[in-house]
Amino acid sequence: MNWRKLRVFLVTALVLCLIPLTRYYQIDQPLIRFLRGSRHVDPLSLHLSGEFVENNLGTQQDADGSVTVRMIAQQYLFLPHCILVPAGVPVHLRITSADAVHSLTFNGTDYAVKVLPGTISEAQLQFPQAGEYKTVCREFCGAGHYAMRSELRAVPREQFPALQPGERGNCAAQ
């Protein structure tokens, strides 16, 4: 084997190794799962299984009085479209994307959470005042980016425990 052939062979081998890396989020091997850690999710099966299935989205009361909010960002909306949280209580946000990179912001606050497909973004939020906060995407994510907005409503904290789980994801019940 002369040097030229060897070089062609090595470059070809390198390119073949790089192709799977562009599809890294679709590879499902125990070792790769371990390296990604627990914050990995498969963007292609969010609605089918795991933490972000539909009836798991929205606000959940935690034992210590705080709440956990699970959301999905996708072109071009945030799910659930309207969420309720108690005012003045720590909110643990867990959000992932089904497609592009989005950025979840809440009007009237400094919070900005970058949301990427394949990863769970976590943030600690708190809304001191009861009221409505428009949630707006601030990362250009495609043709419908400028219409990608929904809503978070902070309700007085004593009012929140009385809400049924089904009402917490749906502001129409208010």
The answer to the question of residue 150 lying near ligand CUA (CB under 6 A) is no
Task: Answer yes or no whether residue 113 interacts with ligand CUA by CB under 6 A.
Answer: no
The region of 17-25, 88-96, 138-146, 156-164 touching ligand CUA under the rule CB under 6 A is 138-146
Query: Considering beta carbons, is residue 145 or 153 the nearer one to ligand CUA?
Result: 145
36, 40, 92, 145: residue in contact with ligand CUA (rule CB under 6 A): 145
Q: Which two tokens stand for residue 57?
A: 């989205």
Alpha helices for 23-117 (secondary structure H): 30-36
Q: Does 46 bind ligand CUA (CB under 6 A)?
A: no
Applying CB under 6 A, among 67, 91, 96, 139 the residue interacting with ligand CUA is: 139
Look at residues 88, 85, 100, 101 and name the one whose alpha carbon lies nearest to residue 151: 85
d(CA 172, CA 143): 28
Task: Indicate if the alpha-carbon torsion angle 159, 87, 113, 121 is positive or negative.
Answer: negative
Is residue 81 within the footprint of ligand CUA (CB under 6 A)? no
Q: Which of 91, 148, 152, 154 binds ligand CUA (CB under 6 A)?
A: 148
116 binds ligand CUA (CB under 6 A): no
**Cα–Cα nearest to 125, from 103, 100, 106:** 106
Nearest CA-CA partner of 74 in 100, 104, 93: 100
- Does position 24 bind ligand CUA by CB under 6 A? no
- CB 144 to ligand CUA: min, Å: 8
160 sits in the region (left: phi over 0; alpha: psi -120 to 50; else beta) called alpha
Residues that bind ligand CUA (CB under 6 A): 102, 137, 139-141, 145, 148
